[in-house]
Amino acid sequence: MQLLIRAAHIVDAASSADGQVCDVLIENGLIQQIGTDITTPDNARIIEEPNLHVSPGWVDLRVLAQDPGFEHKEDITSVCRAAAAGGFTDIALLPNTQPVVDTKGTLGYVRRMAEGQPVSVHVIAAITKKAAGEDFTDMIDLHHGGAVAFSDGSHPLQNPDLLLKTLQYLQPIGGLLINRPEEQMLTRFGQMHEGVQSTLLGMKGIPAIAEELIVERDLRLLGYTLGEGHGAWDSDSSALSPQPPALHFSTISSARSVELIRQAKQRGLPVSCDVAAHQLVFDDSALASFDTNLKVNPPFRSADDVAALWQGLADGTIDAIVSDHTPQDAESKNLEFDQAEFGATGLETLFAAVVTYNTGLSLGQIIEKLTIRARQILRLPTISIAEGQSASLTLFDPAKQWTFDRSLSKSKNSPFLGQTLTGRAIGTVYQGQFHHVL
Instruction: Report the DSSP beta bridge partners of residue 91.
Output: 60, 121
- What are the phi and psi torsion angles at 50 (to 5°)? -60, 140
Q: Please give, one letter per residue, the 3-state secondary structure of the chain.
A: CEEEEEEEEECCCCCCCCCCEEEEEEECCEEEEEECCCCCCCCCEEECCCCCEEEECEEEEEECCCCCCCCCCCCHHHHHHHHHHCCEEEEEECCCCCCCCCCHHHHHHHHHHCCCCCCEEEEEECCEHHHCCCCECCHHHHHHCCCCEECCCCCCCCCHHHHHHHHHHHHHHCCCEEECCCCHHHCCCCCEECCHHHHHHCCCEECHHHHHHHHHHHHHHHHHHHCCCCCECCCCCCCCEECCCCEEECCCCCHHHHHHHHHHHHCCCCEEEEEEHHHHCCCHHHHHHCCHHHCCCCCCCCHHHHHHHHHHHHHCCCCEEECCECCCCHHHHCCCHHHCCCCECCCCCHHHHHHHCCCCCCHHHHHHHHCHHHHHHCCCCCCCCCCCCECCEEEEEEEEEEECCCCCCCCCCCCCCCCEEEEEEEEEEECCEEEECC
Q: Is 324 annotated as catalytic? A: yes
Rounded CA-CA distance 140/124 in Å is 13
398 phi/psi in degrees, rounded to 5:
-70, -10
Candidate list 90, 274, 284, 324, residue with the active-site label: 324
Indicate the residue type of 302: S
Residues that are catalytic: 324
